[in-house]
Amino acid sequence: MSYTAGAAKVDLTPPLTIPYLGGLPRHSPYSGVHDALYARAVAFGEVGGETVIVIAVDALGINNRILGADRDFTAEVRAAVERATGVPPTHVMIASSHTHASPETADFRPLLDTPGAREWLASYADQITAAAVQAFAGRRPVTARRGRGGVVPGALAVNRNAWSYPDPGAAPEDPEVSVLVLEAPGWSAVLYNFASHPVNVQVQPFASADYPGVTSDFVERNVPGCRAALFLQGASGNLNPPRDPLTHDGATWRSPYDAEHELVLDNVRNLFSYAQGMGLVLGLRVVDLVRGADTAVSGPVAAESERLLVDSRDLPDREPFDAEWAARRQALDDAVAAGAPNAEVLSLTERVQEVEEQLVAIDRGTDPISAEVQVLRLGDVALAGLPGEPFVELGLTLKALSDDARLVLPVGYANDYLGYLTDPDAWDRPIYEVSLGAWTRVGRHGGTDLTTRAADLVDRLWS
């Protein structure tokens, strides 16, 4: 097979007025930028055949209602890409890294309530579109090869809910790293897939791509001619970093704030050292796999995309939560009026916001949820996109479809953010991911339904 490819990288760093998820109160504005956020894109096509475009975004996840209930973010970006390139919407994937130090685009709280957010979101969509269009315009003949390897189990990702399994020692993890390398004389691009939550630098007020940004930057500087290294987050819904990837000592995560919610610079440096260390360890492994990838990619370029309705989670009555919110709000107002210490006010604020987010979840209702599953075929590599935070159990199901003829890679946070996508058994364990909140929208069997459909699309593309 003969292929063409182009790659591009566009800066997405937000203005400081755009809020991030963590912090008190929620939707706090940034204090500064630690490292830039990017959209990286690759356009990959078969000569005389179809072209697909993969866009990897340093983002928490982008809920498609972020522009308003009557609009669809992914659909609008895809339409703009199609107008500029002719590549159909079904062939364009927008995948987020899930860095928690990026703007709060997952729609936990309405971003449009923030002054200037509507204008920024329009620019944000334009920049993501520009990455895709630039990648398409820069296509050239390339060769393609792929490789797979791994990191030391437990070094960069652990199952954060291992305690809740009948046998904690058997809790599933996924230390595999996979790469797709595209090359032309003096030019290259890399797509790499790994699963671990980018939460090293969460709940602190500096924009950052976390470890995926460190890794992509390292790969771009150490792979000759690399125009873009695209991180494709795997099934990381219940996988977390082990805190210190350089020493593997399980160091306890420390908030960057003291008891009065003042930034402690030593704590901030501690968090960013974790991200830097983890990113470099993964970057070294990716570069090693790029150099050793010896399986030539072959096969057509194609895409399949389907929407299905999945059941919402069950939701309680609103009335008790209204009463609880009123009681917590009154306690907060009383503390402020009494001149209570800052730490007490912040603690009470957090309690109010906890109920507010439960109310947001309740108000979404229990109507079935429309969810897109998309699979892109890049020769003999399948990118199976799921629109939320898939548990590792679901990712391993998709990876089990790999054989000598194809490499199947799960891609989370693809084309929408619908919260956690769990395996059914997760609902029988007292874990955060199935608690009531904006992060859990899909019900017990929705994750399995989406994964099964993704597997069907993979088989269809190889039939």
Q: Is the model's pLDDT at 259 over the cut of 80? A: no
Least confident interval from 28-32, 106-110, 145-149, 395-399: 106-110
CA separation, residue 324 to residues 320, 346, 351, 353, 354 (Å): 6, 18, 10, 11, 10
Query: How far apart (Å, rounded) are the C-alpha atoms in residues 81 and 421?
Result: 28
Provide DSSP, 404-442: TTBEEEEE-SBS---BEE--GGGGGS--GGGSSSTTB-B
The predicted structure's pLDDT at residue 70? 94
Least Cα distance to 278 among 374, 211, 207 occurs for: 211
Could you tell me which residues come within 8 angstroms of residue 213 by beta carbon, excluding any fewer than 6 positions away? 35, 36, 37, 38, 58, 97, 99, 275, 279
What is the per-residue pLDDT across 121-136, written as a single tens digit (0 to 9) for each? 999 999 999 999 999 9
The predicted structure's pLDDT at residue 163? 96
Collapse the DSSP code of 132 into the 3-class scheme (helix H, G, I; strand E, B; otherwise coil) and give the result.
Answer: helix
Percentage above 70 pLDDT, the chain: 98
Q: Is the model's pLDDT at 146 over the cut of 90? A: yes
Note the helical H segments in 156-256.
210-222
Q: From the CB of residue 82, how many other CB atoms can be counted at a distance below 10 Å?
A: 17
Average pLDDT over residues 189-218: 96
Q: Is the model's pLDDT at 246 over the cut of 80? A: no
With bands split at pLDDT 50, 70 and 90, how would you rate the model's confidence at 145?
very high
Q: What is the dihedral of CA 205, 211, 214, 217, to 10 degrees?
A: -110
Tokens standing for 398?
Answer: 């998709």
What is the per-residue pLDDT across 215-237, written as a single tens digit (0 to 9) for each? 999 999 999 999 999 999 999 99
What is the per-residue pLDDT across 297-346, written as a single tens digit (0 to 9) for each? 999 999 999 999 999 999 999 999 999 999 999 999 999 999 999 889 98
Provide DSSP, 267-309: HHHHHHHHHHHHHHHHHHHHHHHHHH--EE--S-EEEEEEEEE
Identity of residue 344 = E
Q: Is the model's pLDDT at 238 over the cut of 90? A: yes
The predicted structure's pLDDT at residue 283? 98
Longest CA–CA span in the chain (Å) reads 74
Can you give the residue ranges of every domain in the chain?
A: 3-303+370-461, 319-363
With bands split at pLDDT 50, 70 and 90, how would you rate the model's confidence at 202?
confident
Provide DSSP, 143-178: EEEEEEEE--TTTS-EETTGGGSSSGGG-----EEE
Q: Is the model's pLDDT at 248 over the cut of 80? A: no
Distance of CA 242 to the CA centre of its chain: 18
Residue 414 contacts residue 426 (beta carbons within 8 Å): no
Report the chain's mean pLDDT, rounded to a whole number.
95
Average pLDDT over residues 419-426: 97
Least Cα distance to 422 among 401, 399, 455, 445 occurs for: 445
The predicted structure's pLDDT at residue 110? 85
Q: Is the model's pLDDT at 55 over the cut of 70? A: yes
The predicted structure's pLDDT at residue 1? 81
Residue 151 contacts residue 177 (beta carbons within 8 Å): yes
| HEC profile of 72-114 | CHHHHHHHHHHHHHCCCHHHEEEEECCCCCCECCCCCCCHHHC
The predicted structure's pLDDT at residue 253? 77
The predicted structure's pLDDT at residue 77? 98
The predicted structure's pLDDT at residue 394? 98
Average pLDDT over residues 241-262: 77
Looking at the DSSP bridge assignments, the partners of residue 124 are none
Tokens standing for 240?
Answer: 């977390």
Residue 343 contacts residue 259 (beta carbons within 8 Å): yes
Tokens standing for 457?
Answer: 């699309």
What is the per-residue pLDDT across 280-300, written as a single tens digit (0 to 9) for each? 999 999 999 999 999 999 999
Identity of residue 214 = V
Least Cα distance to 421 among 455, 456, 392 occurs for: 392
Q: From the CB of residue 47, how many other CB atoms can be counted at a distance below 10 Å?
A: 10
Least Cα distance to 451 among 312, 315, 314, 310 occurs for: 310
Q: Is the model's pLDDT at 435 over the cut of 90? A: yes
The predicted structure's pLDDT at residue 247? 67
